[in-house]
């Protein structure tokens, strides 16, 4: 059974780059 | 085609907290994130308030604007409608909770403007 680290559940919020 | 959601949002997924404890994704509480971040040397918990929710580039996507941390940095993320965020004191929430429940069997509340989500930043290096 795979085990996932807790922090993978939280998106890192980095500034969005303009396209 | 839309990016597949990560597998760990599926109900029953096993999550390891920073102290080594194992919990199912649907059983996580706000304190689990706070305590894990407290003992993490690299990550710091931050609150991100939902400021706007707009339609995304594709019909099944949304653009969510957050105000992050004390500095209220403005951040936009484009995610699928069913992408769950963890709201302080409330738990998993998405823009389309029915779809999240259907796809991942993960109970969700509706993510709304004003909700405060758990987010992480890197601790500043000295």
Give me the DSSP letters along B27-57: G--HHHHHHHHHT-SSEEEEEEEEEEEEE-S
The ipTM estimated for the assembled molecules is 0.85
Q: Do A4 and B120 touch (CB under 8 A)?
A: no
CA distance B12 to B33: 18
Q: Do A13 and B13 touch (CB under 8 A)?
A: no
Q: What is the pLDDT along chain A (19 residues), one digit of tens a residue?
A: 899 999 999 986 654 433 3
Q: Which position has the token pair 């996580």?
A: B28
Q: Closest to A6 (Cβ–Cβ): which among B33, B46, B48? A: B33
The SS3 call for residue B89 is coil
Pick the closest to residue B53 from B84, B86, B72, B77 (CA basis): B77
**What pLDDT digit, counting tens, does each position of B54-66 carry?**
998 888 999 999 9
The SS3 call for residue B9 is helix
């Amino acid at each position: 059974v795979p085990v996932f680290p807790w922090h993978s559940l939280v998106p890192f919020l980095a500034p969005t780059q303009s396209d | 085609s839309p990016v597949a959601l990560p597998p760990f949002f599926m109900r029953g997924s096993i999550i390891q907290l920073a102290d080594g404890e194992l919990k199912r994704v649907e059983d996580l509480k706000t304190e689990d994130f706070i305590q894990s971040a407290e003992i993490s040397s690299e990550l710091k918990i931050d609150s991100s308030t939902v400021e706007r929710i707009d339609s995304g580039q594709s019909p099944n996507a949304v653009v969510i604007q957050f105000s992050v941390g004390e500095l209220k940095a403005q951040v936009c993320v484009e995610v699928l409608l069913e992408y769950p965020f963890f709201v302080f004191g409330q738990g998993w929430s998405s823009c389309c909770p029915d779809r999240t429940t259907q796809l991942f069997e993960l109970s969700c509340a509706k993510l709304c403007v004003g909700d405060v989500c758990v987010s992480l930043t890197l601790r500043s290096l000295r």
